[in-house]
């Protein structure tokens, strides 16, 4: 069975560069035999958090929220494409994730960070690690970091230059790590029900 991987992206900017990394990851995981799906926060268009999914009476959540909750519950693993805004998290992606809680539990998460500069979203990656852990996910040790995003991936999400070469070399370890934790979590959930 192919690993069902949701790849979350959260920029709302008109000239989004990080979508290239999200598209690259969707394609690269598919080549490995996984079943990835891009979840674009801007396309889903959730409002600023007022009520979490769980705070709606059954059957009364907005359709976009209900559909996404189902996808999250059915997924085997998650990848968060984390752009860095002023050393922090993208508000669009953070807003999307905060709409849910229990839906995330007991699955692995991976962080692929990026920025226009040379730090490759490292500050955002660190911030996301604690956030995802608090939300009940196991964050894998491997991270994928992409600096100079506009020069590392072209408009069609193809790796270019030295940065693209580094990304191509780093992705297999990142994907192998996520696959290992995905298989481990799936086996454990099949063996014993989660404690809560």
Helix (H/G/I), strand (E/B), else coil: 14: coil
Residuewise pLDDT in 10s, the chain (196 residues): 899 999 999 999 999 999 999 999 999 999 999 999 999 999 999 999 999 999 999 999 999 999 999 999 999 999 999 999 888 899 999 999 999 999 999 999 999 999 998 889 999 999 999 999 999 999 999 999 999 999 999 999 999 999 999 999 999 999 999 999 999 999 999 999 988 8
Give me the pLDDT at residue 196, please. Answer: 83
Contact 6, 72 (CB under 8 A): yes
Return the sign of the alpha-carbon dihedral for residues 170, 177, 175, 12. negative
For 183, the enclosing helix (H) or strand (E) is helix 161-191
Closest CA to 4 of 80, 97, 73: 73
Give me the pLDDT at residue 86, please. Answer: 87
Domains of the chain: 4-191 (3.40.50.360)
pTM comes to: 0.96
Give me the pLDDT at residue 62, please. Answer: 95
Helix (H/G/I), strand (E/B), else coil: 192: coil
Give me the pLDDT at residue 85, please. Answer: 87
- Angstrom distance (rounded) from CA 142 to CA 125: 11
């Amino acid at each position: 069975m192919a690993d069902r991987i949701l790849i979350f992206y959260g920029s709302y900017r008109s000239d989004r560069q990080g979508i290239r990394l999200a598209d690259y990851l969707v394609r690269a995981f598919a080549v490995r035999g996984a079943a990835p799906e891009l979840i674009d926060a801007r396309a889903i268009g959730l409002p600023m958090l007022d009520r979490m999914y769980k705070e709606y009476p059954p059957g009364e959540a907005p359709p976009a929220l209900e559909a996404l909750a189902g996808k999250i519950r059915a997924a085997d693993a998650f990848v968060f494409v984390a752009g860095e805004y002023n050393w922090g998290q993208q508000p669009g992606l953070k807003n999307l994730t905060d709409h849910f809680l229990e839906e995330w539990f007991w699955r692995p998460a991976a962080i692929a960070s990026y920025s226009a500069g040379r730090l490759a979203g490292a500050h955002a990656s660190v911030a996301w690690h604690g956030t995802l852990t608090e939300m009940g996910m196991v964050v894998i040790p491997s991270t994928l970091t992409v600096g100079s995003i506009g020069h590392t991936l072209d408009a069609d999400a193809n790796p270019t230059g030295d940065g693209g070469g580094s990304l191509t070399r780093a992705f297999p370890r990142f994907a192998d790590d996520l696959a290992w934790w995905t298989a481990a979590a799936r086996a454990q959930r099949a063996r014993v029900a989660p404690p809560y």
